[in-house]
Structure 1
Amino acid sequence: MVGELGRVTGTVGPGLVGEVIVRVRGGAEAFLAYPAEPGERIERGTVVMVTEYQPPRTVYVTSVYA
């Protein structure tokens, strides 16, 4: 899971529980998402990389094109 790319579907940021879609297990799944860098805000449509995974459905992400 760590290192996989995804796309933000619900804004990720301080005080927000965002959402990202990541391709896994031959399909695409939604995960709750938090920013890997404190204070970072990542808008909808941004391509992100998973830096940490907490089962079952939580990921920490960073923007690929920062």
Structure 2
Amino acid sequence: MVGEQGRVTGAVGPGLVGEVMVRVRGGAEAFLAYAVEPGERIERGALVVVMEYQPPRTVYVTAAYA
């Protein structure tokens, strides 16, 4: 899970519990998402990288830059 890319479907940021879709087990699944960097805001539609995974459905992400 760590290192996988996903797409933000609900904004991630301070005071928010965001949502990202990540490809796993041959499909895409939704995970609750928090920003790794305090104060970082990641808008809906942005590509992110999973930096930390906390089972069962929580990830900490950072924006992926092309």
TM over 0.5: yes
Deviations 1:21-41 (A, max 9, x none): 000000000000000100000
Match of 1:56 in 2: 56
1:65 Cα deviation (Å)? 1.5
Stretches of structure 1 lacking an aligned partner (at least 5 in a row): none
| Aligned mates of 1:26, 1:58 — CA distance in 2 | 19
RMSD of the alignment, in Å? 1.0
Output the TM-score relative to the length of structure 2.
Answer: 0.98
Output the TM-score relative to the length of structure 1.
Answer: 0.98
Match of 2:42 in 1: 42
1:46 Cα deviation (Å)? 0.2
2:44 maps to amino acid: R
Deviations 1:17-62 (A, max 9, x none): 0000000000000000000100000000000000000000000000
Match of 1:21 in 2: 21
Equivalences, count: 66
Stretches of structure 2 lacking an aligned partner (at least 5 in a row): none
1:3 Cα deviation (Å)? 0.1
Identity %: 83
